[in-house]
């Protein structure tokens, strides 16, 4: 096996291992960054929904409750969840994969009833009161998605409508009936604000970026090996071939073996200078034998 071939094998092994390590680290970094980005978006959506709820409860509801026929008409705009749900419902017209829901185990409006997986999350929050939120991944209708859930606890204001049918506004009973949404207890976790965002698109983008990175690394590897091969040939292989050819001629007793040019002070130059001295000594020895 020639020296250049051995050199290339060593380079390919070293660079191949480096590319494998770098690409693996980059893959996990890109995928992790994609998940972090989606999680941050989910937290931002949750903060927005919470701000809407706070505004409705502290600013809008007190104004609407001053209307003379408030108890008779039951204005849903006074309910904090209504504002958040309505606004995010409009948002879904532009971003249909982004969902917000205030899922409840025992809702007044059956459209808010928790699905099986949402109910499991709510029960988990109920069983662990110290948890401020739960996040995770699941397979949704549009692919892999990240969800974020924040507990909804029954407050004194909630119990004005949800403690018993007798305490609820007649207009609310006329609209939703008296079979659901009652029996809530103070500070009980009755539901959860739930945000779900698609993860498949960011992951696909991360994998595409990883594929381009690997392609660039392989391209850089080929260019680097080619450049090193050229340098090795010019500075190592070619001078050694000249020394080998001259040594072969000298070993056969050729008196016309030329003196090699010594360039620089590296190891190749030292070998070339040593050969020149050997050639001179060999020529003298041959002349002495002839005499």
- On whether both 265 and 246 belong to a single domain, the answer is yes
Cα 182–185–190 angle (5° rounding)? 75
Q: CA torsion sign, 271 to 273 to 278 to 279?
A: positive
pLDDT for 120 beyond 90: yes
Judge whether 2 lies within some domain.
Answer: no
- On whether both 150 and 248 belong to a single domain, the answer is no
Mean pLDDT within 271-284: 74
Instruction: Please give the structure tokens belonging to residue 288.
Output: 């002495």
Burial class (CB in 10 A: 0-12, 13-18, 19+), 264: exposed
Q: Could you tell me where the DSSP H helices lie in the chain?
A: 3-55, 61-64, 70-73, 80-94, 116-127, 156-162, 170-176, 200-232, 238-251, 267-290
- On whether both 128 and 167 belong to a single domain, the answer is yes
Judge whether 197 lies within some domain.
Answer: yes
Final residue of a structural domain among 167, 186, 206: 206
Instruction: Please give the structure tokens belonging to residue 86.
Output: 């309505």
Judge whether 129 lies within some domain.
Answer: yes
Name the band, by pLDDT with cuts 50, 70 and 90, for residue 268.
confident
Residue ranges making up the domain that contains 113: 13-206
The structural domain count of the chain equals: 2
- On whether both 189 and 241 belong to a single domain, the answer is no
Contact 73, 171 (CB under 8 A): yes
Q: So what's the pLDDT on residue 79?
A: 76
Instruction: Please give the structure tokens belonging to residue 5.
Output: 């071939």
Judge whether 84 lies within some domain.
Answer: yes
Name the band, by pLDDT with cuts 50, 70 and 90, for residue 287.
low
Mean pLDDT within 8-33: 88
Q: So what's the pLDDT on residue 291?
A: 57
Q: What is the mean pLDDT of the chain?
A: 82
**Who has greater pLDDT, 260 or 148?**
148
Please give the Cα distance from 207 to 245 (Å, whole number).
Answer: 53
Judge whether 4 lies within some domain.
Answer: no
Per-residue pLDDT reduced to its tens digit, 55-96: 877 777 777 666 666 555 666 777 777 778 888 888 888 888
Final residue of a structural domain among 206, 228, 261: 206
- On whether both 46 and 132 belong to a single domain, the answer is yes
- On whether both 193 and 267 belong to a single domain, the answer is no
Q: If you write DSSP's letter for every residue of 12-70 in order, what string do you get?
A: HHHHHHHHHHHHHHHHHHHHHHHHHHHHHHHHHHHHHHHHHHHHIIIIIHHHHTTSTTH
- Identify which of 192, 180, 2, 4 has the alpha carbon closest to the alpha carbon of residue 103: 192
Judge whether 256 lies within some domain.
Answer: yes
- On whether both 241 and 198 belong to a single domain, the answer is no
- On whether both 242 and 153 belong to a single domain, the answer is no
**Who has greater pLDDT, 290 or 205?**
205
Q: So what's the pLDDT on residue 150?
A: 92
Name the band, by pLDDT with cuts 50, 70 and 90, for residue 286.
low
Final residue of a structural domain among 206, 230, 253: 206
Per-residue pLDDT reduced to its tens digit, 213-267: 999 988 988 898 888 888 888 777 777 777 777 777 766 666 666 777 777 777 7
Instruction: Please give the structure tokens belonging to residue 59.
Output: 């600013």
Instruction: Please give the structure tokens belonging to residue 145.
Output: 């998605």
Judge whether 125 lies within some domain.
Answer: yes
- On whether both 144 and 194 belong to a single domain, the answer is yes
- On whether both 190 and 227 belong to a single domain, the answer is no
Judge whether 1 lies within some domain.
Answer: no
- On whether both 256 and 197 belong to a single domain, the answer is no
- On whether both 89 and 175 belong to a single domain, the answer is yes
Output the pTM of the full model. 0.65
């Amino acid at each position: 096996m020639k020296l250049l071939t051995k050199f290339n094998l060593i380079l390919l092994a070293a660079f191949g291992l480096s590319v494998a390590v770098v690409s693996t680290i980059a893959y996990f970094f890109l995928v992790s960054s994609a998940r972090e980005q989606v999680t941050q978006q989910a937290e931002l959506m949750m903060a927005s929904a919470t701000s809407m709820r706070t505004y409705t409860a502290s600013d809008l509801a007190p104004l609407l409750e001053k209307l003379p026929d408030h108890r008779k008409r039951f204005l849903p705009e006074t309910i904090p969840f209504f504002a958040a749900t309505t606004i995010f419902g409009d948002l879904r017209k532009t971003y249909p994969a982004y969902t917000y829901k205030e899922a409840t185990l025992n809702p007044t409006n059956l459209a808010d009833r928790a699905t099986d997986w949402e109910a499991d999350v709510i029960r988990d929050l109920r069983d662990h009161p110290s948890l401020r939120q739960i996040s995770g991944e699941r397979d949704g209708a549009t692919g892999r998605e990240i969800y974020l859930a924040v507990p909804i606890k029954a407050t004194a204001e909630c119990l004005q409508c949800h403690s018993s049918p007798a305490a609820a506004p007649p207009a609310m009973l006329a609209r939703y009936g008296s079979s659901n949404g009652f029996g809530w207890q103070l500070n009980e976790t009755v539901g959860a604000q739930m945000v779900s965002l698609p993860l498949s698109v960011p992951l696909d983008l991360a994998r595409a970026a990883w594929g381009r990175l690997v392609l660039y690394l392989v391209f850089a590897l080929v260019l680097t090996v080619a450049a090193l091969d050229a340098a090795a040939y010019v500075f190592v292989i070619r001078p050694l071939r000249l020394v080998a050819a001259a040594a072969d001629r000298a070993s056969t007793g050729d008196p016309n073996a030329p003196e090699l040019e010594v360039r620089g002070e590296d190891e190749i130059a030292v070998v070339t200078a040593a050969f020149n001295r050997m050639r001179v000594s060999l020529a003298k020895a041959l002349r002495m034998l002839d005499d």
